[in-house]
Amino acid sequence: MEYEVVIGLEIHAELKTATKMFCGCKNEFGAKPNTLVCPVCLGMPGALPVMNMAAVEYAVRAGLAMNCKISSFSKMDRKNYFYPDLPKAYQISQYDLPLCTDGHVEIDVNGKYKRIGIERIHLEEDAGKLIHDAIDHGSLVDYNRCGVPLIEIVSRPDISSPEDARIFLETVKTILEYTGVSDCKMQEGSLRADVNLSVRRPGEPMGTRTEMKNINSLHAVQRAAQAEAKRQAAVIRSGGRVIQETRRWDDARKESFPLRSKEEAMDYRFMPEPDLVPLVIGQEWLEEIRRSIPELALSRVKRYIDDLGIPRYDAHLITQSRFLADMFETAAAACGNPKLVSNWIMTDILRRINEDKDFLAASGLDGQNLGRVMLLLDKGEITPNSAKEILDILAREGGDPDAITEKKGMRVQRDQNLIARAVEEVIAQNPKAAADYRAGKEKSFSFLMGKAMAALKGRADPVQVRELLLRRLKE
């Protein structure tokens, strides 16, 4: 491509605090319209906001996880505009003193690590939701979402391809999930992204950028960026100029439409929020929050590849969820063979998760018992089929892998006499097959082998059975 793409993302994530940002109303998705409201979040005359410190803590946690500086002193501001979903006619947000600044997030583009700068992360409240076409000649408003805490993550224009934009958003999403800050359900709108994009010829200064608002899937971000880069390049190629404007991405039609130009951009008339006191983050609290941050996905990916020899693709899949990654690590430690565990997760466990996305949360399977099943398998105490069967039982009702193995008689048979007796019986009962083999018909051997394994209920070491069978047939 003759043009370079320059992309910055603004990501809005709803924080999963128990209550809203400034009142005691529940922070929940999907309740009946206007049932999670009170005078404060409805902005009634005389009602005052009270800061939910959990929201501040979550925002700081996100900031620390993205390597930001945390402002020891920041404040809230009013962002003024009229819209029916905003009952106060201003959104409480942060203007010139955001909570977190100057961070970065590392992304892994097929084994190449890139660093994307984070300009700022600030705290703000969400607005309500307009429901169009529910009644004739008008719209209805649901204020349940009004006052739900949000963070806005503003990246620097460090992203150089639509694919990188998707990977960056995916990485941020994983960070927010690992830190427990947001559940990032894009289809419910709890994570949304604005794409700022411009193109330029290599070596030239930055081009005029456009902004596409509220894109709510990972792939839609990539598609929107691709389409917009193509559009801008075409405009320039045909001798035109890109206009600075806000555009709406229509993912169904795979194209974007102008929303408003720079001249029409709103003047939000920011003003310090006089109803709230400044936010002061003490060093002690900051350290406490820092300690609550787990090892993040990319750091684990690197460790799995370098220390445990796990393939990159597998490492990414396993670390997609913190729960699964934790499970893997516990199991790998219990078993001592990380590769075996990762292979089983990649095949067996991920299949179960694909069939039922809540599988892990509901099942009796955990890192400990998975690890012990893998250990039994690794030591040859059980066969792969038995391992599968035990995982089924654990998933259904939980339990102790060793006890299940014993109860079900799954332990691999190593008693020479027992195996010898079974082999003799098989030869005795199938004289024709034995004779055929001895006459040089190789195929008969696998028939006899199958019979012998069946007689041992599949729980003997096949190598051992094979050896004994061969010896007897040659006698």
Partner 1 sequence: MSIQDLTIKEASELLRRRKVSSRELTESALDRIRRENGRINAFITVCDDLALSQADAADKRLAGGDGASPLCGVPMGIKDSICTRGVRTTCASRMLEQFVPPYNATAVESLLASGSVLLGKLNMDEFGMGSSSEFSIFGSVKNPWDTGRVAGGSSGGPAAAVASGLCCFALGSDTGGSIRQPASFCGVVGLKPTHGLISRYGLVAYAPSLDQIGPITSDVTDCALVLDAIAGHDPRDPTSANREGEDYSQGLNRDKLPIRVGLPREYFGPELNKDVKNAVFKAVSMLEEAGSSTGEVSFPSTEHAISAFYLISSAEASTSLGRYDGIRFGYRKTGAKDLEELYQLSRSEGFGREVKRRILFGTHALSAVYRDKLYNKALRIRRMIARDFSEAFESFDVIVAPAYPETAFRMGEKTGNPLKMYLGDIYNVGANLAGLPALVVPCGLDRRGLPIGIQLIGKPFSEKLLLRAGYAIEKRVGRLRPPRAGEESSEGG
420 binds, among partner 1, Zn ion, none (CB under 5 to 8 A by kind): none
Q: Is 460 helix (H, G, I), strand (E, B) or coil?
A: strand
Does the footprint of partner 1 cover residue 277 (CB under 8 A)? yes
Residue that has been written with the tokens 């503003």 in this structure: 154
Instruction: Give the separation between CA 199 and CA 227, rounded to whole angstroms.
Output: 12
CB of 22 to Zn ion, least distance (A): 7
CB of 20 to Zn ion, least distance (A): 5
Does the footprint of partner 1 cover residue 454 (CB under 8 A)? no
Residue nearer to partner 1 on the CB measure, 49 or 63: 49
Would you call 231 exposed, middle or buried from its count of C-beta atoms within 10 A (0-12, 13-18, 19+)?
middle
CB of 258 to partner 1, least distance (A): 19
Chosen residue from 16, 20, 61, 88 binding partner 1 by CB under 8 A: 88
89 binds, among partner 1, Zn ion, none (CB under 5 to 8 A by kind): partner 1
Interface pattern 167-206 for partner 1 (x via CB under 8 A)? ----------------------------------------
Structure tokens at 282: 């003490």
Instruction: Give the separation between CA 388 and CA 294, rounded to whole angstroms.
Output: 31
CB of 123 to Zn ion, least distance (A): 17
Chosen residue from 25, 127, 301, 315 binding Zn ion by CB under 5 A: 25
Does the footprint of partner 1 cover residue 53 (CB under 8 A)? no
Beta-strand (E) ranges in 310-355?
none
Does the footprint of partner 1 cover residue 89 (CB under 8 A)? yes
Residue that has been written with the tokens 């892998």 in this structure: 401
Instruction: Give the separation between CA 180 and CA 177, rounded to whole angstroms.
Output: 5
Does the footprint of Zn ion cover residue 56 (CB under 5 A)? no
Residue nearer to Zn ion on the CB measure, 55 or 229: 55
Instruction: Give the separation between CA 92 and CA 22, rounded to whole angstroms.
Output: 10
Does the footprint of Zn ion cover residue 23 (CB under 5 A)? yes
Beta-strand (E) ranges in 16-148?
69-70, 73-74, 77-80, 90-93, 100-109, 112-125, 129-135, 138-142
Q: What is the dihedral of CA 220, 297, 348, 387, to 10 degrees?
A: -170
Does the footprint of partner 1 cover residue 90 (CB under 8 A)? yes
Residues binding partner 1 (CB under 8 A): 39, 42-51, 78, 80, 82, 84, 87-90, 141, 267, 269-271, 274-277
Residues binding Zn ion (CB under 5 A): 23, 25, 38, 40-41
